[in-house]
């Protein structure tokens, strides 16, 4: 498991404290050998004072119980009709599963309650087919849930609802998770399944997708290859984003420490569907300076960047941009303007090691170049020891031996610091 550096992990601890995460567990992952590991991850999150609500499915357990009893299921996951026999099997399997989870959470010293918070009505006739005991969501009693969370009790929600008229209804657990997440204004919903969230995207693009990108994906024919369960989870994730949950994660719970690996690294191990633009480039503020200096220090030690002290950075802070992901600074870059020469120096471009190779360097450079253009700068230069090939091949900078074109005071510094950096230029 790759957590990134300890500092990176610690950044998340205060961010997550007191937050509410809805964890949607597939029955299949609850039947897997790795389930005890998932429960341990939940215990870690609880110890960090994350409010957790567990919503669980049971399709896998219902299927195997039906097989043992020789029952033909009318629907395995409540996306179709639930006839009398299916309801009978489902109730037995769900009750057993809930009890097992309760036992395991109690062993981990997590206070747990099975809560009846879903009011539903019978789904009725859809496409000419009577859905019988399959329910449709009416309301989530979020006040009851909030009461439990305030008392540090973890609510465990089975895929069942009641209509107030004496009927038990079978619910689809993904839909329950989204309804609960929206009603609680949860910070995250995390779908834990038994498979990789493989939407046929390359690894980098698959890590985070916006709700709009998710819509495009669903329209694409290739997604027909993706299994129905995953497709439905993506639909639910998009719906949750549109209804106010800003981040929905899809992860493979069979991976070791899947939950922690997803939450405590910027890139994660699954797919995150997000409602807003959580990655952005913005002007640096005084609060960023310590983190910026720490990042730069590593590059200075490797002779990649020239040393700067806090006073120097603060004095030219308006020149610096930072890239942040989920509130954490992961990259930096500066544009020092020489108005008289109509020139600007691209400086201090740095992307943290564990975020390299994902186009962040490119985004930083392009943003700084756009800034230079908007300021009427006609040419850019930079002084590079180890990245001249990067700037030449990716951004068309060329090495120049005409040092006289460099602004005078900058040239004096270059001559004094003895780094022997290459002088790269680019016309805008």
Ligand X SMILES: CC(C)(COP(=O)(O)OP(=O)(O)OC[C@H]1O[C@@H](n2cnc3c(N)ncnc32)[C@H](O)[C@@H]1OP(=O)(O)O)[C@@H](O)C(=O)NCCC(=O)NCCS
Binding site for ligand X (CB under 6 A): 299, 304-305, 347, 349-351, 356-362, 382, 384, 386-387, 389-390, 394
Nearer to ligand X, 3 or 390 (CB): 390
- Distance, in Å, from the CA atom of 292 to the CA atom of 329, rounded to the nearest integer, reads 8
Provide, rounded to whole angstroms, the least separation between the CB of residue 346 and ligand X: 7
Provide, rounded to whole angstroms, the least separation between the CB of residue 283 and ligand X: 19
Pairing of strands 343-351, 328-338: antiparallel
Provide, rounded to whole angstroms, the least separation between the CB of residue 206 and ligand X: 16
Nearer to ligand X, 82 or 384 (CB): 384
Provide, rounded to whole angstroms, the least separation between the CB of residue 267 and ligand X: 12
Nearer to ligand X, 180 or 406 (CB): 406
- Distance, in Å, from the CA atom of 297 to the CA atom of 309, rounded to the nearest integer, reads 10
Task: Give first-to-last CA distance, the chain, whole Å.
Answer: 44
Provide, rounded to whole angstroms, the least separation between the CB of residue 262 and ligand X: 22
The DSSP secondary structure of 362-407, one letter per residue, reads HHHHHHHHHHHHHTT--EEEEEESS-HHHHHHHH--EE---GGGS-
Provide, rounded to whole angstroms, the least separation between the CB of residue 370 and ligand X: 15
Nearer to ligand X, 239 or 308 (CB): 308
- Distance, in Å, from the CA atom of 162 to the CA atom of 119, rounded to the nearest integer, reads 5
Q: Which helix (H) or strand (E) holds 66?
A: helix 59-69
- Distance, in Å, from the CA atom of 81 to the CA atom of 78, rounded to the nearest integer, reads 7
**Selection from 228, 224, 278, 219 nearest residue 248 by Cα:** 278
Provide, rounded to whole angstroms, the least separation between the CB of residue 332 and ligand X: 9
Neighbours of 279 (CB within 10 A): 15
Tokens 């807003």, located at residue: 276
CA 374 to mean position of chain CA atoms: 33
Nearer to ligand X, 290 or 303 (CB): 303
Provide, rounded to whole angstroms, the least separation between the CB of residue 423 and ligand X: 12
Nearer to ligand X, 23 or 305 (CB): 305
- Distance, in Å, from the CA atom of 287 to the CA atom of 329, rounded to the nearest integer, reads 11
- Distance, in Å, from the CA atom of 404 to the CA atom of 328, rounded to the nearest integer, reads 40
Nearer to ligand X, 318 or 386 (CB): 386
Give the C-alpha distances (Å, rounded to integers) separating 170 from 90, 236, 242. 8, 18, 25
**Selection from 354, 347, 355 nearest residue 279 by Cα:** 355
Q: Which residue has the closest beta carbon to ligand X?
A: 361
Query: Nearest 5°: phi and psi at 153?
Result: -105, 135
Neighbours of 97 (CB within 10 A): 24
Pairing of strands 135-140, 422-427: unpaired
Provide, rounded to whole angstroms, the least separation between the CB of residue 360 and ligand X: 4
3-state class (DSSP) for residue 63:
helix
In angstroms, what is the C-alpha Rg of the chain? 27
Provide, rounded to whole angstroms, the least separation between the CB of residue 302 and ligand X: 7
Neighbours of 62 (CB within 10 A): 27
Nearer to ligand X, 72 or 420 (CB): 420
- Distance, in Å, from the CA atom of 410 to the CA atom of 255, rounded to the nearest integer, reads 52
């Amino acid at each position: 498991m790759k957590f990134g550096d300890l500092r990176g992990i610690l950044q998340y601890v205060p961010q997550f404290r007191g937050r509410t995460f809805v964890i949607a567990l597939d029955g299949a992952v609850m039947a897997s050998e790795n389930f005890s590991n998932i429960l341990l991850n939940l215990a870690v999150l609880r110890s960090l004072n994350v409010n957790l609500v567990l919503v669980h499915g049971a399709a896998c357990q219902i299927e195997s119980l039906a097989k043992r009893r020789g029952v033909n299921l009318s629907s395995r996951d409540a996306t179709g009709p639930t006839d009398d026999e299916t309801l009978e099997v489902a109730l037995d399997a769900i009750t057993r599963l809930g009890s097992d989870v309760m036992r395991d959470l109690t062993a981990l010293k997590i206070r747990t309650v099975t809560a009846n918070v879903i009011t539903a009505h019978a789904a009725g006739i859809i496409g000419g087919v009577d859905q019988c005991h399959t329910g449709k969501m009416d309301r989530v009693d979020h006040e009851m849930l909030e009461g439990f969370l305030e008392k540090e009790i973890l609510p465990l929600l089975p895929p069942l609802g009641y209509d107030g008229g004496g009927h038990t209804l079978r619910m689809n657990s993904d839909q329950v998770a989204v309804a609960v997440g929206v009603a609680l204004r949860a910070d995250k919903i995390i779908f834990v399944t038994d498979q990789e969230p493989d939407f046929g995207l390359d690894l980098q693009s698959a890590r985070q997708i916006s709700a709009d990108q998710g819509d495009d994906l669903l329209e694409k024919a290739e997604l027909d290859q993706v299994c129905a369960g995953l497709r439905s989870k993506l639909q639910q994730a998009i719906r949750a984003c549109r209804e106010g949950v800003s981040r929905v994660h899809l992860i493979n719970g069979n991976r070791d420490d899947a939950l922690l690996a997803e939450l405590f690294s910027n890139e994660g191990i699954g797919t995150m569907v997000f409602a807003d633009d959580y990655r952005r480039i913005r002007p640096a503020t005084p609060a960023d300076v310590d983190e910026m200096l720490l990042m730069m220090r590593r590059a200075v030690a490797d002779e990649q960047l020239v040393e700067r002290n806090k006073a120097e950075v603060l004095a030219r802070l308006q020149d610096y941009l930072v890239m942040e992901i989920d509130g954490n600074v992961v990259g930096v870059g500066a544009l020092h303007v020489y108005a008289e020469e109509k020139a600007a120096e691209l400086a201090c471009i740095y992307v943290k090691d564990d975020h390299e190779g994902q186009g962040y360097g490119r985004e930083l450079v392009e943003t700084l170049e756009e800034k230079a253009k908007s300021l009427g700068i006609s040419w850019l230069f930079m002084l590079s020891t180890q990245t001249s090939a990067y700037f030449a091949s990716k951004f068309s900078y060329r090495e120049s031996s005409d040092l006289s074109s460099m602004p005078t005071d900058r040239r004096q510094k270059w001559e004094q610091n003895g780094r022997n950096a290459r002088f790269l230029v680019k016309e805008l």
